[in-house]
Amino acid sequence: MLLDKPKKSKSLYVKGKIKMNNRILLCILLLIATVLSSCGKNQSLTPPVIPDPVLEFGTDSTLDIVTWNLKEFPLDNNTITHLIHIIPQIQADIIAFQEIMDASAFYAMAQQISGYQALVYNYSGGWKLAYLYKTSNITVNSEYTIFTGESRPFPRPPYILDLNFNGSQYFVINNHFKALGDNVVDYNDPWDEEMRRIDASTMLEGYIQQNHPDDRVILLGDLNDQIQEPPATNVFMAFLDKPQSYYFVTMPIAQNPTPDTVSYPRYNSIIDHILITDELYSDFEASGSVCAALQVEEFMGGLSVYYNQISDHRPVGIRLSGSRNRSQKDD
C-alpha cells in the first residue's frame, strides 16, 4: 500500500523562507558594510597613486617640458597634497610654473617629491615664476630674469633656465603675460592689455635673435591670449611673421579646440603656450614628439574639484623625441 507523502506545513515553509531571506539579508548587509567601509577609506583627500595614461606624459627616451599655471599657489589646503602625487605621474624633466604666491610652501612641496629640485624667482610681487626639474636628467647651468625694469610689457619678468640635457644646451624662457583685455588693440594706449602683450612678444623675439640666434630655445608660459586670431588682433605676430624661425607647438590645439584638449576649459580656449625655435624643428618632427594639454582633473574627481583645489589652467606639455638621440658632435 502506497502511503501519501506527508505535505509540508505551510507554516514550516514560511519559516524556512524567512530563514533563507534572513540569510540573504545578512549577506547583503555585510556586503553594504564592506563597501561603505571601503568608500570611507577612499574619502581621504590624498588622491590614489594609480598610473593614469592621461598623466603619464614624459618618457625615458624624450625631453619633456611642461608649463603650468598653479592659480595663486597654494590655492587650497589640499593643493600640495594633490601635487605631491600628481607631479611624479607626469614624469616631466622640467615643469615651468606661474602664479606661485608662497615660495616657502613651493620649496617645502618640492622636498617631498623625489628626484626633483625647485627654483623660484625672488620677485617682490605676489605671483612668482618657478621651476621643478628632474636632477637625474637636467643639469642647470644658470637661472636668471630679463627685462626686470620693464613692468609695462612684463608685469612678471621672464625667468630663464639655462640647462643641459643629454649633452646639449637649452634655454627655457618662462613667462606670465599681462591678463585681460577686450580683444581690441588700442595702439594709442601703451597700457592697453593687448598692447602690453604685443610689446612683450616683440621684445622677447628681439632678445632671442640678439642673444640666442643659434640656440635651442623653448619659450612658454601663461601668455594670456590666443595664437590663432587674425593678424589685426593677434598679439604674437612678432613670432608668427617668422615661421622659418619660430613655431607654436600649441597651434594645432588652438585651431581645433575641444573641451578635452584646451588649457583653459572654462572658455574652451588655450592661452598657455609653448614656442620653439627652428633649432628644435627636427626634434619636434621626430616620431613620438607631441604637444598636449594634460587632463589632470581626471586624476582627482573632475574639473570642479580641480578648479577649487589646483587651478583654472591645465598643464601643457611638449615631448621632444629627437633630443634624446642627438649626438654631442652636432652641437
| CATH value at residue 315 | 3.60.10.10
Is there a domain that residue 245 lies in? yes
Rounded distance, CA 83 to CA 314, Å?
13
Asked whether residue 25 is domain-assigned, the answer is no
Q: How do residues 105-132 score in pLDDT, each as one tens digit?
A: 999 999 999 999 999 997 666 899 999 9
pLDDT of residue 35: 35
What global pTM score does this model have?
0.82
- Please give the residue range of the domain that contains residue 241: 63-325
The CB-based long-range contact list for 262-267 (8 Å cut-off, 24+ gap) reads: 262/293, 262/314, 263/293, 263/313, 263/314, 263/315, 263/316, 264/312, 264/313, 264/314, 265/303, 265/314, 266/307, 266/312
Structural contact between residues 89 and 118, judged by C-beta atoms closer than 8 angstroms: no
Q: What is the pLDDT of residue 7?
A: 38
Is residue 44 included in any domain, yes or no?
no
Total domains, the chain:
1
pLDDT for 34 equals: 39
Lowest mean pLDDT among 21-30, 48-57, 94-103: 21-30
In a domain, 29, yes or no: no
Instruction: From residue 261, give the alpha-carbon distance in Å to each of 9, 45, 148.
Output: 69, 26, 34
In this structure, is residue 133 part of a structural domain? Answer: yes
What tens digit of pLDDT does each residue of 285-306 get? 999 999 999 999 988 889 999 9
2 is a domain residue = no
pLDDT at 306: 96
Which residue's C-alpha cell is 644658470?
A: 142
Instruction: Confirm whether 86 is domain-assigned.
Output: yes
**pLDDT confidence of residue 126:** 80
Query: Mind listing the pLDDT tens digit for each residue in 143-200?
Result: 999 999 999 999 999 999 999 999 999 999 999 999 999 889 999 999 999 999 999 9
123's grid cell: 620677485
CA separation for the pair 194, 198 (Å, rounded): 6
Determine, yes or no, domain membership for 307. Answer: yes
